[in-house]
A and B are shown apart, each in its own frame.
Chain A
Amino acid sequence: MTLLAGALAATGALAQSDSVKIGVILPMTGPSASTGRQIDAAIKLWLAQNGAKAGGKKVEVLIKDDAGVADTTRRLAQELVVNDKVAVLAGFGLTPLALATAPIATQSKTPMVVMAAATSAITEASPFIVRSSFTLPQATIGIAEWAPKNNIKKAVTLVADYGPGNDAEKFFVDRFRLNGGTIIEKLRTPLRGADFAPVLQKVRDAQPDALFVFLPSGQGAQFMKQFGERGLDKAGIRMIGTGDVTDDDQLNDMGDVALGVVTSHHYSAAHPSAMNKKFVADFEAANKFRPNFMAVGGYDGMRIIYTALNATKGASGEALLAAMKGQVFESPRGPVLIDAQTRDIVQDIYIRKVERVGGQLWNIEFETLKAVKDPGKLK
């Protein structure tokens, strides 16, 4: 605690210096490495496009790898705050990583921009957390609204058994029932499981109209393949889910079985706006892969930090946090707002279908729910 108190004094001193540091903690190795890779590439793209200057100061971005381990995230955050005296903490690939860091943000009064982790409750863990990604309840209700209107009356849910998965299950089930649907079964799989054979067989025997799926970014391809192999698509079971399953990063490797899968999410690389076209083109030119929703969370996170630094001429602490709240801007995903009250993002949620366009698979948006607030906080 004394260390952190010292850091507090030091952040005051930082305001006078002519450079400002942003400490980014990402899982660059380990099972969630694709999240880190996407956000890292997006941050580099932002810096290349906008230069390393904001609020009249030189911006230094320090990227640290926590390998997806919460203890490491916390230690790195402490080092960044105490030794490097960063003005902003950012990144956080998974919910536990963000929650482990929240107390450090609170104690050192350092704004913390969550660029990936999507459990609803994260922003409540510290008054210094601002989120630039999305929340699972937000992404989930889109599909839960759409399904009952499109001849899906009976559904089975299948989620990865951890925070965001539980969020997705709860909000899908509640909203789907509210709209007159029936849930036959609620299934959960271990976070790291790769063999979905037993659960898929169970789904097949239950004969629902559709299977709602949430799996963390990166597991979608494996799941989709087994879904097809087990013949669920031929047995007339439709697959719906949040956009994590048809992650743009992997979508092209999934093959034809993904065609026609309907998901709801806040970002598709195929979003038809001039801004997104430029974003995707620049991103692909600099990297060998397509940006996904993680990349756009990182990109917008950088925008939030830059805008706040510019508005406050490079302040830190509470002043910087205040400048992050209430920002309204156009993102590659569409119009977004950082809700001043909850510090969570308010954005459009799109219903998309996987289609083949120009020889590649894309999530094509065909319906929009305007300005969706996180339903997890509407109590």
Chain B
Amino acid sequence: MPTLLFDGIAYGMLLFVLSLGLAVTMGLMNFINLAHGAFAMAGGYVLVLLMQRAGWPFLACLPAAFVATALAGALLERTLYRPMYGKPHLDQVLFSIGLTFMSVAAVDFFVGSQQQIVQLPEMFKHRFEFGSGPWMLGMGAYRLFIIALCVVLALSLQALLARTRFGSRLRAAVDDPRVAAGLGIPVDRVFLLTFAFGSGLAGLGGALGADILGLDPSFPLKYMVYFLIVCAVGGTSSITGPLVAALVLGIADVMGKYYVPKLGAFIVYALMIAILLWRPQGLFTREGRR
């Protein structure tokens, strides 16, 4: 039982890192980016290719995955995304889902469609076990690492958004880009940085998750629904919202697959429907906002 809880938390944390970028672009920049999963997949493949072809160590590949996808995000923001900011949401959805399909086909063509296998370093293959019987807690070292990393990320992001000058500029730019620009805030640059950072986080999540979620070209489509559920349930106005939503989803998913395997993946959707019936605006969104 504690083991399941632990696995659920690790899974939820992973979902959190993966979805956070989406929550930022959707909530703060008011842009629906369905291609978010494609950035996550790109991060995963950066990790796999660097490890397999260039022989990089696992831990060095994680920042590389972040940087590479952040750069890709910045480039795409400048060239493709920026003209889409002012467009209606339907155009944004069509545009970004098209981008997703292109990324799926591109990876299929260049790398192949097989599941990629990540060889974790030895230190992550350990397993810590406490207690016995139904109350035994077994923790894989790698999942422990994921949880620790994600907690650090969540805390520092919260601090970044709430406490720093950049955070207040971003919130100002989102609330009213014209006034913010008039006050001398470089709105374009703030959006560019935010988008790149969100993409980088997705890439990091994809790299971290390659071992647990699996990695093949259909990754962006397979997990897109999960990202959207995290954003819908958690709301997109804070970091706490998606964090709690991701944890609830992760734990529900693992528990559901354990206790009612016949329903399997459906538990997550049932839970989402229940939460949204109860709080249609999301768990943590202030009512009446936007």
Contacts and interface: CB of A to CB of B under 8 A. Distances in A.
B140 A230 contact: yes
B255 to A, nearest CB: 8
A69 interface: no
A338 B57 CA distance: 51
B129 interface: yes
Interface in B206-229: 211-214, 216, 218, 222
A197 B142 CA distance: 13
Interface string A171-211: 00000000000000001101010110111011001000000
A195 B11 contact: yes
Contact of B7 (A187, A188, A201): A201
A34 B114 contact: yes
A83 interface: no
A194 B261 contact: no
Interface string B226-251: 00000000000000000000000000
A222 B115 contact: yes
Indicate the size class of the contact surface on chain B: 20 to 34
A218 interface: yes
B121 interface: no
A199 B113 contact: no
A192 B215 CA distance: 11
A194 B213 contact: yes
A197 B254 contact: yes
B214 to A, nearest CB: 3
A222 B125 CA distance: 14
Given A190-B264, A199-B257, A222-B214, A230 B138 contact: yes
Interface stretch (A3-11, A25-33, A139-147, A368-376): A25-33
B127 to A, nearest CB: 5
Contacts of A255: 119
A222 B209 CA distance: 13
Contact of B258 (A30, A194, A201): A201
B134 interface: yes
B142 A199 contact: no
Interface string A73-91: 0000000000000000000
Contacts of A335: none
Contacts of B281: none
A110 B84 CA distance: 54
Contact of B265 (A34, A190, A199): A190
Given A198-B4, A218-B115, A31 B218 contact: yes
A107 B212 CA distance: 46
A160 interface: no
B236 to A, nearest CB: 26
A330 interface: no
Interface string A117-159: 0000000000000000000000000000000000000000000
Contact of A229 (B4, B142, B213): B142
A253 B257 CA distance: 28
B52 to A, nearest CB: 10
Interface in B121-138: 125, 127, 129, 134, 138
Contacts of A34: 114
A229 B125 contact: yes
A188, A222, A230, A250 pick with most chain B CB within 10 angstroms: A222
A194 B138 contact: no
Contacts of A253: 117, 119
Contacts of B138: 230-231
Query: Which of A31, A198, A219, A221 lies at the interface centre, i.e. has the most chain B CB atoms within 10 A of its CB?
Result: A198
A33 B109 CA distance: 12
A225 interface: yes
A115 B11 CA distance: 39
Contacts of B213: 194-195
Contacts of B258: 198-199, 201-202
Contacts of B7: 197-198, 201
A219 B11 CA distance: 20
B113 A198 contact: no
B261 A221 contact: no
B112 interface: yes
B127 A230 contact: yes
A197 B8 CA distance: 10
Nearest to A253: B117
19 contacts: A30-B113, A33-B114, A190-B265, A192-B222, A194-B212, A194-B213, A195-B214, A197-B11, A198-B255, A198-B256, A198-B261, A199-B257, A199-B258, A218-B114, A219-B115, A222-B115, A225-B117, A228-B125, A231-B129
Given A202-B258, A225-B117, A229-B125, 4 more contacts: A33-B114, A187-B261, A219-B115, A253-B119
Interface of A: 29-31, 33-34, 187-188, 190, 192, 194-195, 197-199, 201-202, 205, 218-219, 221-222, 225, 228-231, 250, 253, 255
Interface of B: 3-4, 7, 11, 108, 112-115, 117, 119, 125, 127, 129, 134, 138, 140, 142, 211-214, 216, 218, 222, 254-258, 261, 264-265
